Structure 1
Amino acid sequence: GHLARRLAVYSHATSRIIRGDYIHLATAHGLRNQGYTHVILNSPYKKISSHSAHRLALHRVGIKTVNLYSAFVGLAVAEAAPGGQIVAIIPHSFCSGPYYRPFRDFILARSAIRQMHLFASRNKPFKGDEVLQETIIIRLERGGQQGPVTVSTSTEDSFADFVTHDHPFERVVFPHAPEQLIHVLTTPEKTAIERLGAGGLIPWLILASRSPPGQWLISA
């Protein structure tokens, strides 16, 4: 098949398995360009304790994150050669929220987002592995000049309902939004947030009172 033909091109390649703790190995002498041109990751999913050796090692090299999967991706980006391609299958959770803000800053400062694929179902893509969260495949280019981002979606890993669109980067990461949220767009049409304002902030105010009892007054 196609994969066998592609692998045959690299039949001369050699391999070396390094047994050890990747975080400690990668941070022992500071982050360095290791010349990796291609990186494929299915990183472990586990929270990093705030006082663990892993957290301290990552902080020393400027990576601030709360989960092993994002730590592995950050290290891979840092060790890749200029133009290196990094492909990772990871939870969708890093795209938003304050805890992953430093991680988003780290990868966006060092790489360009080329492609993202969203598995829309939480339980179908990896039902045999008890993975119950939205998962994406992301391709980054180390030091690349950011351009349009290809975003595709499917319900599960059969890709039977595969759909793809290209989006301007300004739709994926709003240029003036401080949180650097990454929007995995599933349609060319503008989202509600885009229609309300590129900053991603919804200007509204709710005032409530309970007079008379049992009734609320809401003003937007």
Structure 2
Amino acid sequence: MRNYSDISPNHHKMGNEETLIDYAIERSQLHAKETSISKRKEIGQIFTPKRTAIYMARFFDLSKVNFSLLDPGAGTGNLLSAVCQRIVNEADHTINMRIGAFENDFSVISYLEQVLSACKDALGEQGHSLQYSIVDDDFILSNREYLEEGSLSKQNNLHYYDAVISNPPYYKINKGAIQATILKDFVSGQPNIYSHFMTLSAHMLKNRGEFVSITPRSFCSGLYYKKIRNWFVRNTCIHWIHNFESRKNTFIEDNILQENVILYAVKTDDVNCPPFHISSSFDNTFSRYKEIEISYQDLIYRRDFESFIRIPTSEPELKVIETIDAWPHTLEGLGLRMSTGPVVDFRTKENLRNKYSRGESAPLLWMQNLRGKAIIWPLEGLSKPQAIEVNPSTKSILLPVKNYVLIKRFTSKEQNRRIFATPLISAHFNTHEYIGLENHLNYIHKPQGEMTVDEVYGLVVILNTKLVDTFFRILNGNTQVNASEINLLPLPSIDIIRKIGKSYQKIEDQESLVLDEFISDFISIDPILVSQLTKSGAT
């Protein structure tokens, strides 16, 4: 098994010898001055910072004599130059290197040519060799053959690489785009081009080929990336994930707000993958760097034929996984389901009303109506319509007044909690037949019947614990609280949920209640873990 002791950024001392990567960074800065941020954003062009590029280059095994490397979106060659620099600095034997660089932005190709030419000269001076090709075509259109199941002779005519290093473009593409059509077997819903680059470039690896990329964390969970994620789980062993804690500083100079991860995987059909490493830092300066080793079963979360990639970054978070994984049920297993609020305001503008009229309209709830553990309707000062007309065209998007658990669909990573659950009790809306839930709300309901009040409060308490919130953060890197993830969230038995809800309603001072301590009277939770989770205050 490979020793990863040299991966830490603290192991690598940067100095004056970083001439190749510095040269590439200078070229990217020149291009950035010549091109507006809006233009680069349009084509999803984000250049990799120096320390990030050096860190990514450290994952590769350089023991081979012949080493072929693919960069599917090479830009000015920041990542490629970091690999070349590492070979110059560290290789103890001659390496014959071959680079395939794809880049279809003609305004950067001259810079890329300069960088790769400098790499060739520097490697040659150390006794190595470099052959490179720059392909100025669309990466996906140029390599669709790698996805086709053809004859062995056709496969033999394709070049498969020893390694991939990639910072792919990031933007949504139309479902009817030719790139989406080519990768139709891996697409669900609204595709993003970065996931297409990930999938296709991984297909272009040899068996045991190495894959290193920096991408949004969103592929680790969520319905849109289900097929791509399942392919990676089946066809690679993920050896390392580095998580950037801040969404604001991964690409400082480009002012990009996105939670990103660095993924290192090896293409293989092995069923048993070795223990896995997770590291994290605050930003791309790699400050507050830490790492842990975990079992592969703690990385991959499997429920009901779904696979999610989890990213715990501390021992307490591993204990959270161990605790919640032991819960035997899910919402769907309990006959419940979370769905998304069906009222999309711009699609039914003509039916929205600023004032409620009894007998003609129904209450319309927005995220803003959820205030802590209560629903405030109507909410004074809210500039949104708080009623919706009841008529034949709106019946399909209105809900019968029942007991529900409401959850905000959108939160930010920086907020104190990711999950905000609020009870909707039918008795509080008993003068209404219907209720409208705007699309930025999720709701838990019982499709074949109605939840009891005890069940509603029990779920609200459990979902609002720091324990569950931490588990969800480990699972979800998006700003969205997705129904697909909540529906598969482990839960205790319905009897325990009812007992928690019934007991909670009897407590007079609910505001000062520490929910994690409260549920530990009903569920076995390590008191040390409860203390660690709640030491910053009540949840």
- The counterpart of 1:16, out of the listed 130, 133, 139, is 133
Q: Which residue of the partner structure matches residue 181 of structure 1?
A: 308
Q: Shift of residue 85 of structure 1?
A: 0.6
Q: 1:120 to 1:177 in 2, by over 3 A?
A: farther
Which one has a bigger Cα radius of gyration? Answer: 2
1:136, distance to aligned residue in structure 2 (A): 0.3
Describe the shift of the 1:22–1:197 C-alpha distance in structure 2 as closer, same or farther (beyond 3 A): same
TM-score of the superposed pair, with normalisation by structure 1:
0.86
C-alpha separation in 2, matches of 1:202 and 1:191: 20
| Greater Cα shift, 179-188 or 113-122 | 179-188
Shift of 1:137: 0.2
User: Residue 104 and residue 213 in structure 1: after superposition, are their counterparts in 2 closer, same or farther (change >3 A)?
Assistant: closer
What are the Cα deviations for residues 147-203 of structure 1, in whole angstroms up to 9, with x where unaligned?
211000000111121100011010011244532111011112335454123589655
Q: State the distance in 2 between where 1:134 and 1:200 align.
A: 31
Distance in 2 between residues matched to 1:193 and 1:149, nearest whole Å: 15
1:25 shift after superposition: 0.9
SS of residue paired to 2:226:
helix
Corresponding residue to 2:204 among 59, 62, 79: 79
SS in 1 for 2:143: helix
The one-letter code sitting in structure 2 at the alignment partner of 1:122 is R
CA distance in 1, matches of 2:268, 2:18: 28
Which residue in the other structure is 2:234 paired with?
Answer: 109
What is the alpha-carbon distance in structure 1 between the residues aligned to residue 328 and residue 308 of structure 2? 9
Distance 1:199 1:64 in 2: 31
Contact 1:171–1:183 (Cα < 8 Å) also in 2: yes
Greater helix fraction, Structure 1 or Structure 2: 2
Structure 1 residues 177, 195: closer, same or farther in 2, change over 3 A? farther
What SS class does the counterpart of residue 181 from structure 1 fall into? strand
CA gap 1:198/1:6 in 2 versus in 1, 3 angstroms = same
Residue 48 (structure 1) aligned with residue 173 (structure 2): yes
Query: Do the aligned residues in 1 keep the contact of 2:298 with 2:321 (CA within 8 Å)?
Result: no
Q: Runs of 5+ in structure 2 lacking a partner?
A: 1-14, 20-84, 96-122, 124-128, 149-154, 337-402, 405-423, 431-452, 459-539
1:125-140 to 2 correspondence within 5 Å?
125-140=250-265
Partner of 1:211: 427
Number of the residue aligned with 1:27? 144
Q: TM-score, normalised by structure 2?
A: 0.37
Shift of 1:110: 1.3
SS at match of 2:240: strand
| CA contact 2:146–2:204 (8 Å) conserved in 1 | no
- 1:3-51 superposed Cα distances (whole Å, 9 cap, x missing partner): 6763324511221111101101110464456320011000000112111
Q: Evaluate the alpha carbon distance shift between residue 54 and residue 197 of structure 1 in structure 2; reply closer, same or farther with a 3 A threshold.
A: same
* Comparing 166-175 and 7-16, the one that deviates more: 7-16
Q: Do the aligned partners of residues 17 and 213 (structure 1) sit closer, same or farther apart at CA in structure 2, a change above 3 Å counting?
A: closer
Q: For the residues of structure 2 that align with 1:6 and 1:200, how far apart are their CA atoms?
A: 48
SS of the equivalent of 1:16 reads strand
Aligned counterparts of 2:428 and 2:267: Cα–Cα separation in 1: 61
Assess, with a 3 A threshold, how the Cα gap between structure 1 residues 78 and 29 changes in structure 2: closer, same or farther: closer
- Per-residue CA deviations over 1:49-93 (Å, capped at 9, x if unaligned) read 11111111112xx33251111111111111101111110000011
Higher relative contact order (CA 8 A, sep 6+): 1
Unaligned stretches of 5+ residues in structure 1: none
Residues 193, 7 of structure 1: alpha-carbon distance in 2 compared, 3 angstrom cutoff: closer
Counterpart-to-counterpart distance in 1, 2:218 and 2:293 = 22
In the TM superposition, residue 125 of structure 1 has moved relative to its aligned partner by: 2.1
Q: Distance in 2 between matches of 1:94 and 1:169?
A: 18
CA distance in 1, matches of 2:197, 2:205: 12
- How many Å separate the matches in 2 of 1:94 and 1:201? 25
Give aligned-pair identity as a percent.
25
